[in-house]
Amino acid sequence: MHDPRIPAGWSPTEYAAVVRRLGRHPNAVEATVLSALFSEHCAYKSSRAILARLPRKGGALLEGPGENAGIVAIGGGWALAFKIESHNHPSFIEPYQGAATGVGGIVRDILAMGARPIALLDALFFAPPGHERSTYLIERVVAGIGGYGNAIGVPTVGGK
């Protein structure tokens, strides 16, 4: 049976570790803050193990995984900076702004590496078309991505 004190998305082991560390059960504010900090969006809680298996070194790799963008040498003294961002939860709650801030995060991280963003390429995945919110989410997410990119002069050149 599920313990109602354990916040959604936490395992019993994770909750027990927090209780041990605090010496008590977390209050609602603490549980909410910790839920945000250790969410997939902020901490890559469920995908970290998969991401750790990706190559971190290589002949063309100039900057590997980290806080900002990866950089790959493409020859002739040129390099490309790449960034992948997931904004699933923000885009579900407020699709236009969630998608726009996702693009903003990508652009920020590219700029932080000293690179200039030249294009966006988006892989978007939604519930089946028959789902009650699918059409709304798709239309608003696409509009948010385009709206942000267009405002800063960075085109979306393709996607899925």
* List of domains in the chain: 56-159 (3.30.1330.10)
Higher pLDDT: 50 or 108? It is 108
Give this prediction's pTM: 0.72
Each residue of 123-158: b (16+ CB within 10 Å) or e? eeeeeeeeeeeeeebeebbbebbbebbeeeebebee
Q: How confident is the model at residue 64 (pLDDT cuts 50, 70, 90)?
A: confident
- Residue 65, Ramachandran bin (φ over 0: left; ψ between -120 and 50: alpha; else beta): beta
The span from the CA of 97 to the CA of 100, in Å, is: 5
pLDDT at position 103: 95
Length of the chain: 160
Question: Tokens 């950089």 map to which residue?
Answer: 71
Percentage, residues of the chain above pLDDT 90: 50
Highest mean pLDDT among 27-41, 49-63, 95-109: 95-109
State pLDDT tens for residues 109-140. 999 999 999 999 998 888 887 888 889 999 99
Q: Annotated active-site positions, please? A: 41, 87
pLDDT at position 11: 84
Could you give the residue ranges of the DSSP H alpha helices within the chain? 12-22, 28-37, 40-43, 48-51, 88-93, 95-112, 134-152
pLDDT at position 139: 94
State pLDDT tens for residues 6-45. 887 788 898 999 999 999 999 989 988 888 888 777 777 7
CA-closest candidate to residue 107, choices 120, 92, 94, 125:
120
Q: How confident is the model at residue 2 (pLDDT cuts 50, 70, 90)?
A: low
pLDDT at position 86: 81
pLDDT at position 22: 95
What separation in angstroms does the CA of 2 have from each of 97, 141, 150? 34, 34, 47
The two three-digit tokens of residue 151, written as one number: 């405002």
The span from the CA of 15 to the CA of 82, in Å, is: 35
The span from the CA of 102 to the CA of 90, in Å, is: 9
